[in-house]
Amino acid sequence: MGEKSFKNGKPRALSIGCCDMTVKCRFRWSWDHAILCSCCRPMGMVFAWLTFSPFNQPLFDPMELSCQSDNEGSWSIGIFYGDTPMSLQPIEQLNLRNNKSSAWPVANPVLTCASVTDASHPSIFVADPFLFIQGSTIYIFFETKNALTKQGDIGVAESLDGGVSWRYLGIVLDEEWHLSFPYVFSYKGQVYMMPEGSEKGDLRLYRALNFPLEWTLERILVKRPLVDAALVEYNGDFWIFASDFHRFGAQRNGELEAWYASTPLGPWKQHKGNPLHNGDPSSGARNGGRPFVYEGQLYRVGQDCADTYGHRIRIFRVETLTRSKYHEVEVSSGFQESKKGRNAWNGARHHHLDAQKLPSGGWIAVMDGDRVPSGDLYARYLTGTAAFVALLLIVLLFGIILGVVRCVFPLSKCLSTGKRSGMPPVWVQPQVTSTLHRALSRLNRGSSAIKGRVRPNSFAGATLMFLCFVMGVVAVCIGVRSFFGGNGAEEPYPVEGQYSQFTMVTMTYEDRLWNLKMYIRHYSRCASVREIVVVWNKGQPPNPDTDFDSAVPVHIRVEEKNSLNNRFKPDPHIKTRAVFELDDDILMTCDDLERAFKAWRSHPERIVGFYPRLNDGSPLKYRNERYARAKKGYNMILTGAAFIDSELAFPKYWSQEADQGRALVDELFNCEDILLNFIVANGTTARTVEYIHPAWAIDTSKLSSSAISRDTKVHYMKRTNCLRKFSELFKGLTLKKWEFSSRADAWDL
């Protein structure tokens, strides 16, 4: 076999499986294998070099498993307040602040998988929260899915400041079976917990030995696998609402039953009308939290599981509840669902609510939420697999067009071997052989027909190959994104475990309305954007309620004078300290905004933005970003895309000290951003600017004839004049230079 050669130097078909790929080769058979192996070896070495680190690998850290993708979702927990349980608002609407984390205001979620810090219990998600109020301390008990055991455990966190900040205390209950829905209540001076443990086949009651961390089994209440059991006292009896999906004929997520007793300790008896509901999963039959009494009326919280598990909560007012009768009607929950989709922590679903009345008379509630639907992980994997299968078919078609792929069914080579090979024959059932042979024969005839009609050097052939290439690129992008791109959300970044929000401010006029509509549609979906304020300098203002597709409130502030100074004017509509000033002609990703927001929260005294400049020399001269890159540093951040502290910078900008500077801005209709950099840097030796590199940014001003910087030469001359005037105004103040690549996360490269 090693001595066999090819006559006349004709091309030979190299068989791989049952597909022949015609290749030109001038070497003998034995040398072909050597060449193939020599090609594979360096490829393997490169793969190993890229894959395996030459450094010592750290020991396995279980916490690296926390917050990983899971097919059940990525649940987290938020807190809400209101005058009534039907008018609950998220914590960010109350403008509660935490200076430690620069959360001005604090925003939901307040507990996530990252909040669980036990190395032995890394969390995939947290859900099913229940409140317990003890004096001025508020506790949240919740389910946390253990990334190691893939089962639910019960954790607890506490707040000493009314819910503004939370401290994780630990795991309070960890059984050999899955636990969730930790319903906590007090009775006769004792604190009890009634978690769901339907996997064990019963409903158990635990009593606190050392609240809130130590618990002991008190008794088994019901020897049935009840799901999401919630207890309430009403009309002299104690009631448990729950679901039993093992009941004969029970519809999953569509069944509800009731049990009653004279005390929470039992004995418990079934309601005569059980099951109270048994039908459509969208009916809200399955419990979604704690029943509550408001103005003497009992309300039950249910789950709508129509499109996905735990899609949303529904509130039902119980009209009749006796030991033999039950009737409820749905009422409005008053809850406003987010329009931000996956960028919102509860954008896809929310399935649990616990609302309780505070001693002050107001109401507090906890709710869980998820940004993705149930089964999202498997759906992404299925999409990615389909994309790579499509890529394989596209490559096959591409090869057929070029004439280098020929699919055949060589029985003598694939199914049995000759005497030379020394290999035993492979037996295949005749019907399988015949079917496969016919299929490959048809494919071969089809490929011959394609090759006969479509020539690679013809226009049709070139067009088809180009389309194959484009479709291949699309398939690769879809496949890689599905497998490695996460859930598609541009999530916010916490600081000290807390989230916050900011207000976007842009300045425009009627000639740029098309820009503004695109701007609002895009940025209003960013996770941490609370409101968009539009400074309207000229022309007829739009209607914010009808002219924009926005996921957040839009406020139009109409100015009497067309001035660039207006963008830094104090505004009572701005409720957040963080303001992101962004020109209406710049588009960038929400993730870029979130990264810059995190950087600003770490140093709120700075101007943090995306466009660095280095203005130096004697005399001073304004230059572009390329100059700053060449000099490896910057001393100014343009406020056309930058975070600033509105409560610090705006009053300074409008102080008497800056009167001459504002007058020059009005005279030149330019330089308001340069003036703000001088104002913030004046009187301090600390760093006042920080650069964040955007993933990408599109400047749509190049498409408009109304941009003030369109004539670059004149624009730069004006700004050079401003630099020199402002330096004189601030008594020779020199802006300090700061180097790129000073951040550990490399966000400023």
| Sequence-distant (≥ 6) Cβ neighbours of residue 321 within 8 angstroms | 234, 235, 239, 258, 298
User: CA 743 → CA 296, 511, 691, 748, distances in Å?
Assistant: 57, 40, 10, 6
Side by side, the strands of the sheet bearing 203-210 are: 180-187, 190-196, 203-210, 214-222
The secondary structure element, H or E, covering residue 229 is strand 227-234
The 8-class DSSP code of residue 175 comes to -
Cβ neighbours of residue 36 under 8 Å, at least 6 residues apart?
A: none
Give every strand in the sheet of 89-90, ordered side by side: 89-90, 76-82, 363-370, 349-357
d(CA 416, CA 28): 24
DSSP annotation of 651 reads: H
Q: How do beta strands 641-645 and 578-582 pair? A: antiparallel
- How many Å apart are CA 571 and CA 728, to the nearest integer? 30
Q: Distance of CA 177 to CAs 19, 173, 196, 198, 679, Å? A: 51, 11, 10, 9, 61
Q: Which of 354, 376, 673, 748 is catalytic?
A: 673
Provide the terminal-to-terminal Cα distance of the chain, rounded to the nearest Å. 58
State how far the Cα of 323 lies from the Cα of 272, in Å rounded to an integer.
Answer: 7
- CB neighbourhood size of 417 (10 A): 14
Task: At 232, list the tokens.
Answer: 């309430």
Tokens 């616990």 correspond to what residue?
354
d(CA 548, CA 571): 21
Whether the CA torsion 206, 211, 212, 213 is positive or negative: it is negative
What Rg value do the Cα atoms of the chain yield, rounded? 33
How far is Cα 122 from Cα 633, in angstroms, rounded to an integer? 41
Please tell me the distance from the alpha carbon of residue 242 to that of residue 44, in angstroms, as a whole number.
Answer: 57
C-alpha span between 440 and 290 (Å, rounded)? 62
Which tokens go with 162?
């009314």
Name the 3-class secondary structure at 131: strand
| 673 catalytic per annotation | yes
Tokens of 592: 């870029």
Give yes or no for a contact between 271 and 258, defined as CB atoms under 8 angstroms apart. yes
Number of other residues whose CB lies within 10 A of the CB of residue 465? 16
Residues marked active site are found at: 673
